[in-house]
Amino acid sequence: MDEKHQYLFIDFEFTMPEGKYNPHGFYPEIIEVGLVAIVNQKITDQYSSYVKPTKFPKLTDRCKSFLSISQEQVNDGISFLELVSKLSQYEGSTPSTIVTWGNMDMKVLQHNCQSVGIPFPFKGKQRDLSMEYKRFFGDQNQTGLWKAVQEYGKEGTGKHHCALDDALTTFNIFKLVENDKRYLAKPEPTTIGDRVDFSKLLNKFAL
């Protein structure tokens, strides 16, 4: 991790259809954002908000049940245009590295921007931490966010499917994976104790 560079850990929650074809023409829209800004491995800012969907403003029962988000919460949320304006403010003069768990967050953001005809807010590199985790550990399948953190013997931050908590959990896994990468890249030099079996040596002198 570049100490002076800004990393943005982002998680979105999206609308969900009731069934395969209901509502007609459905596509996922962002209804909650969680963002954690990191410089030098320290949190410099965090942001969360509900977001009003544009195309399909009424949440399905399945969406409300799965995400524990109410219609009133999204009705009181910021508009999608306000969300994109807020996200673009984090870029500043230097593009940030965007880190997400999976590739859906940036795909949905890109599609939502195209749907309303506004520019994508990020210019920096995008990193899918779930794919890095999969490659690093040689897993055949992508691992869910909270399963991954539990495999490290830890627990996720707060509540799963709460956007800010998931963004914080993604940052925590990122730190663990980066530490493992550094450990493997720079193995500790062996000590004389590692090279010599002292029990055998002492037995030899005891004879």
pTM: 0.83
Catalytic positions, please?
Answer: 13, 161
Taking only the tens place, the pLDDT of each residue in 47-79 is 999 999 999 999 999 999 999 999 999 999 999
Taking only the tens place, the pLDDT of each residue in 65-118 is 999 999 999 999 999 999 999 999 998 767 899 999 999 999 999 999 999 999
Across 15-20, average pLDDT: 90
Q: What's the confidence (pLDDT) of residue 164? A: 96
Q: Which domain holds residue 128?
A: 6-206
Its sign, for the CA torsion 176, 1, 44, 6, is: negative
Residue 1 forms part of a structural domain: no
Residue 151 forms part of a structural domain: yes
Residue 103 forms part of a structural domain: yes
C-alpha torsion angle, residues 47, 105, 59, 25 (rounded to 10): 150
Across 36-55, average pLDDT: 95
Residues in the chain: 207
Residue 82 forms part of a structural domain: yes
| 12, burial (CB in 10 Å: exposed 0-12, middle 13-18, buried 19+) | buried
Domain count, the chain: 1
Q: CA-CA distance, 98 to 17, in Å (whole number)?
A: 27
Structure tokens at 129: 């931490």
Q: How would residue 202 be classed by pLDDT, with cut points 50, 70 and 90?
A: low
Q: Which residue has the tokens 């074809």?
A: 21
CATH at residue 100: 3.30.420.10
Structure tokens at 49: 């908000």
Taking only the tens place, the pLDDT of each residue in 130-173 is 998 888 877 767 778 878 878 777 766 667 779 999 999 999 99
Residue 134 forms part of a structural domain: yes
